[in-house]
């Protein structure tokens, strides 16, 4: 099939009204949000990313023992979490492999930038995109409650018990 090349004299209409653009579908892979509270700086996502787009830095801190007489614990603290969206191919591997549910697809697209280096998005942007992540679909009627809901209820019960005994 022969296709005529575009005529450079013909002006292509550009709709500059953002409200006229179609809103992204709820499950669109537009950007990646980071729930920092869940991230343990385990680096698994960075190791599994086929394009090496994740840049994560952290350090270790000593936390007090959980119980009197116990040993002090160490924990990882996040210093930097960046994704280079000029390399990202939206495969979702980082989200799939995260053992702590710290990464999620957000529907809004990563903003276009004039320079490739500006497509490296830092933790502030990733944290903002978490607010755009849609809630999971409702469970089927009669399904068991989610593990998260069960765990949260247990923590609430322990906290209420402790409050009652102090
Ligand atoms: S979606 Fe794929 S390419 Fe993009 S950061 Fe995650 S693992 Fe890497
Ligand atoms: S795999 Fe998850 S918990 Fe580990 S560094 Fe990546 S986002 Fe954080």
CATH of the domain at 88: 3.30.70.3270
The torsion defined by the Cα of 132, 134, 135 and 140, in degrees rounded to 10, comes to 180
Span of 11-25, 107-121, 138-152 with lowest mean pLDDT: 11-25
pLDDT over threshold 80, residue 9: no
* Assigned domain for 60 exists: yes
The pLDDT of 96-111, averaged and rounded, is 95
Six token digits for residue 39 = 């991230």
**Which ligand 2 atom is nearest residue 40's CA?**
3
What does the alpha-carbon distance between residue 166 and residue 163 come to, in Å, rounded to a whole number?
5
Q: pLDDT for 25-43, tens place per residue?
A: 778 899 999 999 999 999 9
**Residue 39 domain boundaries:** 20-136
CA 86 to CA 115: how far, in whole Å? 10
Residue whose CA is at the smallest distance from ligand 2 atom 2: 98
Helix (H) or strand (E) holding 148: helix 147-165
What is the CA(56)–ligand 2 centre distance, in A? 9
Mean pLDDT over each residue of the chain, to the nearest integer: 88
pTM: 0.76
The answer as to whether 27 is a domain residue is yes
């Amino acid at each position: 099939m022969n296709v005529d090349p575009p005529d450079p004299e013909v002006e292509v209409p550009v709709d500059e009204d953002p409200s006229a653009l179609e809103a992204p579908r709820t499950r669109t892979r537009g950007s990646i949000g980071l729930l920092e509270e869940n991230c343990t700086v385990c680096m698994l996502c960075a190791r599994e990313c086929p394009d090496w787009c994740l840049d994560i830095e952290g350090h270790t801190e000593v936390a007090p023992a959980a119980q009197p007489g116990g040993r002090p614990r160490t924990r990882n603290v996040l210093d930097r979490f960046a994704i280079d969206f000029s390399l990202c191919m939206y495969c979702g591997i980082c989200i799939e492999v995260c053992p702590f549910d710290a990464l999620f697809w957000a529907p809004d697209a990563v903003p276009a930038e004039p320079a490739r280096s500006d497509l490296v998005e830092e933790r502030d942007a990733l944290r903002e995109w978490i607010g755009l992540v849609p809630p999971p679909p409702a469970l089927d009627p009669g399904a068991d409650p989610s593990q998260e809901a069960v765990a949260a209820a247990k923590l609430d019960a322990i906290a209420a018990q402790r409050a009652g005994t102090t």
